């Protein structure tokens, strides 16, 4: 069942599936991974994400992480979505492409964006494909948290523009 906001939008993403609600232990684990450099959590969290595709009937060709802008990557030292995507790709025995999708602008962090519409405007054209590796491919997009779906949708539009045939996104948690 879609929320009214999602139902009113035409999406470039076939489905978004999340293993948990963004609360409790899942929220704590994501915060440890994302802000406290506990990278060892990525394979454990990915273990809960990989089975989400079984209910969608989607067989991806490649796995892509939601990219982080270069400046944020330099500051944090790693992209938590890339760590998760690597572990998901390993579990599913699929190729992963780290450089195929890029963040084009150092937008305000989605965490600090105040509301749903602000989040959508913040990432409206923030991503682009950097090479032809997604053309004619079914893409599995991996991120840590889905709040409004704005980031995933913006990535999906960039992937569709570059020729991806289908896109499904999986996240560890979804804010409800």
Residues 104 and 94: their CA atoms lie apart, in Å, by 26
Closest CA to 154 of 165, 173, 169, 174: 169
Work out the average pLDDT over 49-70: 91
pLDDT of residue 124: 72
Percent of the chain with pLDDT over 90: 69
pLDDT of residue 176: 84
pLDDT of residue 101: 94
Domains of the chain by start residue, with CATH: 15-174 (3.40.50)
* pLDDT tens digits for range 148-157: 899 999 999 9
HSE, CB side, 13 Å, CA atoms: give it for residue 158: 26
Percent of the chain with pLDDT over 70: 85
pLDDT of residue 125: 73
Q: pLDDT band for 37, please (50, 70, 90 cuts).
A: very high
Residue 6 pLDDT exceeds 90: no
């Amino acid at each position: 069942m879609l929320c009214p906001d999602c139902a009113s939008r035409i999406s470039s993403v076939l489905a978004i599936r999340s293993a948990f609600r963004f609360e409790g232990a899942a929220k704590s684990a994501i915060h440890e991974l994302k802000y406290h450099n506990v990278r060892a959590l990525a394979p454990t969290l990915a273990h809960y994400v990989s089975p989400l595709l079984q209910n969608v009937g989607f067989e991806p060709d490649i796995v892509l992480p939601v990219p982080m802008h270069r400046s944020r990557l330099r500051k944090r030292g790693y992209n938590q979505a890339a760590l998760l995507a690597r572990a998901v790709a390993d579990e599913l025995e699929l190729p992963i492409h780290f450089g195929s999708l890029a963040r084009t602008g150092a937008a305000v962090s989605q965490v600090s964006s105040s509301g749903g519409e602000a989040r959508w405007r913040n990432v409206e054209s923030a991503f682009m494909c950097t090479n032809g590796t997604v053309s004619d491919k079914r893409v599995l997009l991996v991120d840590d948290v889905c709040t409004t779906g704005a980031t995933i949708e913006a990535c999906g539009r960039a992937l569709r523009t570059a020729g991806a045939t289908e896109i499904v996104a999986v996240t560890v948690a979804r804010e409800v």
